[in-house]
Amino acid sequence: MIVRGRSNYWRHTLYLWLLEIRDILEYEIGERIEIEVLDSSSEDPELLVNGELIGKGVPGEEGYLIEILKKAILCIKEKRA
């Protein structure tokens, strides 16, 4: 999982939220999650899973982030199968 964007409040917020929900996601999907932060010119943070852009910006709360990621990760896992 990659958080990419300009080093600012929003990228840092998204990164911290991912750290907070990592245990929940790992339990839900049954896999370990690595989180990486990369610099780019984008003002809004971008969230990538297995190289696929999942979203841009920050959801209203962590709960939405959990649901967005669960859905995206499960879709990616189905494509692999």
Residue-wise pLDDT for 6-52, tens only, equals 999 999 999 999 999 999 999 988 989 999 999 999 999 999 999 99
In the numeric block, which tokens belong to residue 67? 């649901």
Q: Is the pTM of this model over 0.85?
A: yes
> What CATH number does the domain located at 2-80 have?
3.40.30
Asked if pLDDT for residue 81 goes beyond 80, the answer is: no
Contact criterion met (CB below 8 Å) for 81 and 74: no
pLDDT band at 77; cut points 50, 70, 90: confident
Q: Given this model, what pLDDT does residue 8 score?
A: 98
pLDDT value at residue 80: 81
Query: Cα 8 from chain centroid?
Result: 16
